Structure 1
Amino acid sequence: MKKTVWPLALLAGLGSTQAGADVIGLYAGAQAWQVNTSGGFGSKNSSADFNFEDSTQGVFYVAVEHPVPLLPNLKVRHGDLTADGNTVVSGQFSFGGVDYATGSALSTSFEVTNTDFILYYEVFDNALFSIDLGANIKYLNGDIGVVDTRGIRSNEKLNAPLPLGYFKAEAALPLTGLSAFGELNYLALDGHNISDYQAGISYNLIDTVALDLNLHAGYRAISLELDDLDNIDARLDFDGAFAGAEIHF
């Protein structure tokens, strides 16, 4: 959020095509995300739930905000959705062109990157509260592999850009340096249902004319329901606490 209060006359521009910033600003941030993965996947209308190991994922992002009318602000965020798991299938399981029999003991390696290309406008922004609206092209790219105890392997490659709606709100707690924030990305289309949301608290550790440094922590959850996307059916949830820092020039 900006440190200056907009005049009341500008509030009439809520929802206008102004990007929202008074000057060009650059943001860069990094997070450590403790991820619990649950659910399963398959193909040919069959699926299996896996017992996934917890992991810590790194998330990195940069954003550029500017005052140019019509042109949206840009944020690019990148992280991994990786998890190793195992299961014993209770029915026939098909994946990557291979049929595994009932009772097969399987291991999986889910190695997918998650990159968000977010275009947004600051539709409201003052010293205490801000709202961003826009669109997010979420790009999922990577490999999902399965192997049984006999060494029979199967693999599918996921390479999919998906359009999501984007919403973010932030509210400052006066005289504390603290603010609360929430973000939602969502898609429900053609049997696919994807949500990516987070909420947390930020603390303004350094506040100068040249540089701001914010520390933040919270909770993030990504839910993927994919219906025959690149031959993959999936119901997977990734969620957990995160902590990180952001620099604003």
Structure 2
Amino acid sequence: MKKTALALCAALASGAASADTILGFDASLGAWQPAYSGTVGVDGFDVDEFNLAEDNITFIQAALEHPVPLVPNVMVAHSKIETNGATTLDQSVTFDDETFAATSDITADITLSHTDATLYYEILDNWVNLDLGLTARQYDGEFSATGQYTPSEVCIPEDFDPCTPVEQSEMVELSGVLPMAYAQARFDLPFTGWSIIAQGNGTGYKGDSHTDLTAKVRWDFLPVADFAVEAGYRMMSLDVSELDDFQSDLEIKGPYLGLNLHL
């Protein structure tokens, strides 16, 4: 009877110790404050001219891991990227099919919001963790520009009427699913609660390329509740000429701060 009780206690203890290895959940929520650089449009217009707003961008990421062999783990993520700006052109610029004349006052809106669905395998799982997989990135974005200028010939009216401004606008959508390779490496510093993490997605096709890289540190400040804070730097580049007519060579990068929950 004593042997049976001891065996039962051992089994329960073993089950409790390995409960978090049966099914794991990891989620992060945070704010990213990037700066924008590079070019957009047929003529490679420098986005610095727009003085784009550097507002905080929200992001969320959640992953579910399991022990079933050959079945990949699943992660979903979403980043809401929106910015806008304005400028006065000192030369004509073409965005998609519309050419904006010099001296035009232009406002621009850029949206690069996207949702990721990632299937990955955990290659290593100890103080060094390595995940490899494939991401399907769904973009819901656009670049839009509206401008206004006054043609010189209208500015010499015989009856001295006010000059008539000309309105222009163009919008280029960025939508569809883009396949990307995925990798994440995490290094746990033993007995400290600190981790160093590098995570990235990347793809390239016919000269176009797209990368999204993050480096961060995570501190498990509340081990009992599995809460952690993380801080890092994210850099996203979009060098494309044939992706839904969205012609750009953009770089979006900056620091971010977030909260993490791991169960």
TM-score by length of 2: 0.80
- Asked if structure 1 preserves the Cα contact closer than 8 Å seen for 2:143 and 2:246, the reply is no
Q: 1:209-248 maps to which residues of 2 (within 5 A)?
A: 211-248=225-262
- Asked if structure 2 preserves the Cα contact closer than 8 Å seen for 1:50 and 1:86, the reply is no
Q: CA deviation at 1:90?
A: 5.0
Query: Which secondary structure state, in structure 1, belongs to the residue aligned with residue 67 of structure 2?
Result: coil
More displaced stretch, 84-93 vs 45-54: 84-93
- Whichever residue aligns with residue 231 of structure 2, its letter is A
Q: CA deviation at 1:57?
A: 0.3
Unaligned runs of 5+ in 2: 1-19, 150-166
1:133 aligns with: 132
Taking the aligned partners of 2:250 and 2:86, their CA distance within structure 1 comes to 14
Q: 1:1-249 maps to which residues of 2 (within 5 A)?
A: 22-42=21-41, 45-51=42-48, 52-89=52-89, 91-126=91-126, 128-150=127-149, 151-208=167-224, 211-249=225-263
Residue identity over aligned pairs, in percent, reads: 29
- Whichever residue aligns with residue 249 of structure 2, its letter is R
- Whichever residue aligns with residue 220 of structure 1, its letter is R
Deviations 1:54-84 (A, max 9, x none): 1110001111111111111111110112111
Question: Which protein is bigger by CA-based radius of gyration?
Answer: 2
Deviations 1:94-153 (A, max 9, x none): 224321123433220012312111111110011x11011111112221221101134421
Taking the aligned partners of 2:64 and 2:140, their CA distance within structure 1 comes to 24
Taking the aligned partners of 2:91 and 2:205, their CA distance within structure 1 comes to 29
Taking the aligned partners of 1:69 and 1:92, their CA distance within structure 2 comes to 58
Q: CA deviation at 1:199?
A: 0.6
- Asked if structure 2 preserves the Cα contact closer than 8 Å seen for 1:156 and 1:232, the reply is yes
The structure richer in strand per residue is 1
Taking the aligned partners of 2:92 and 2:176, their CA distance within structure 1 comes to 27
Taking the aligned partners of 2:211 and 2:248, their CA distance within structure 1 comes to 14
- Asked if structure 1 preserves the Cα contact closer than 8 Å seen for 2:36 and 2:47, the reply is no
Taking the aligned partners of 2:168 and 2:212, their CA distance within structure 1 comes to 34
Taking the aligned partners of 1:97 and 1:168, their CA distance within structure 2 comes to 40
- Whichever residue aligns with residue 230 of structure 2, its letter is H
Q: CA deviation at 1:91?
A: 4.4
Deviations 1:141-178 (A, max 9, x none): 12211011344211111103111111111111122111
Q: May I ask how many residue pairs the two structures share in their alignment?
A: 224
Taking the aligned partners of 2:222 and 2:143, their CA distance within structure 1 comes to 42
Unaligned runs of 5+ in 1: 1-20
Deviations 1:199-248 (A, max 9, x none): 1110112223xx41111001001000111211121111111111111112
Taking the aligned partners of 1:90 and 1:176, their CA distance within structure 2 comes to 56
Query: Which secondary structure state, in structure 2, belongs to the residue aligned with residue 239 of structure 1?
Result: strand
1:11 aligns with: none
Query: Which secondary structure state, in structure 1, belongs to the residue aligned with residue 80 of structure 2?
Result: strand
